[in-house]
Amino acid sequence: MALDKPYKDIPGTTIFDAEQSRLGYHLNQFCMSLMTAENRARFKADERATLDAWPMSEDQKQAVMARDLNRCIALGGNIYFLAKIGATDGKSFQQMAGSMTGMSEEEYRDMMIAGGRSIAGNRVIGEDGDAQAHRQPQGRAGRTGRA
């Protein structure tokens, strides 16, 4: 009998379970390698060559080079590991988190200061909250894109 995974119906959310962890093993371990100044410098000097030393999929490498964190997560990345890439780039956790919403840094920061994202409409896929798939990207980017 299959395991119960009730968290699969939360919008805009990927739970890093054993299945995701297996998919992302090498991607996440690459991120761990960025915890030394020497490896951060090597990565910055030649991203492609550094990534090619890891048995990651081409999709994973492209997602890293594009700094597309949503894609990295879909391919098995976990935010605490991916944060090492952000740290290498000099980004804060807030900049990283915000980048996954489509909002500008300022828009995301303002949302947090105003009390954060509301849970209303964001509990289950199919509601109408701002984290739902049909409302991406968020912020000005979304208003322009859907206009």
Partner 1 sequence: MARISASVYTSHVPAIGAALDLGKSGEPYWQPVFKGYEPSKEWMRTHTPDVVFLVYNDHATAFSLDLIPTFAIGCAAEFQPADEGWGPRPVPVVKGHPELAAHIAQSVIQDDFDLTIVNKMDVDHGLTVPLSLMFGQPAAWPCPIIPFAVNVVQFPPPSGRRCFALGQAIRKAVAAFDQPLNVQIWGTGGMSHQLQGPRAGLINRDFDRDFLDRLIADPEGLSHQPHIDYVREAGSEGIELVMWLIARGAMAGNSGKDAPRVVHRFYHVPASNTAVGHLILENT
Map the footprint of partner 1 across residues 57-96, applying CB under 8 A.
Answer: 69-70, 73, 78-81, 83-84, 86-88, 92-94, 96
Encoded tokens for 44? 């910055």
Q: Does 21 interact with partner 1 (rule: CB under 8 A)? A: yes
Burial class (CB in 10 A: 0-12, 13-18, 19+), 53: exposed
| Amino acid of residue 56 | M
Supply 82's token pair. Answer: 């991916």
CA atoms of 136 and 38, how far apart (whole Å): 38
Residue 50 touching partner 1 (CB under 8 A) = no
Residue 97 near partner 1 by CB under 8 A: yes
Q: Which of 72, 69, 140 is nearest to 110 (CA)?
A: 140
User: Interface residues with partner 1 (CB under 8 A)?
Assistant: 6-7, 10-18, 21, 24-25, 28-29, 31-32, 34-37, 40, 69-70, 73, 78-81, 83-84, 86-88, 92-94, 96-98, 100-102, 108, 111-113, 115-119, 122-124, 131-133, 136, 138
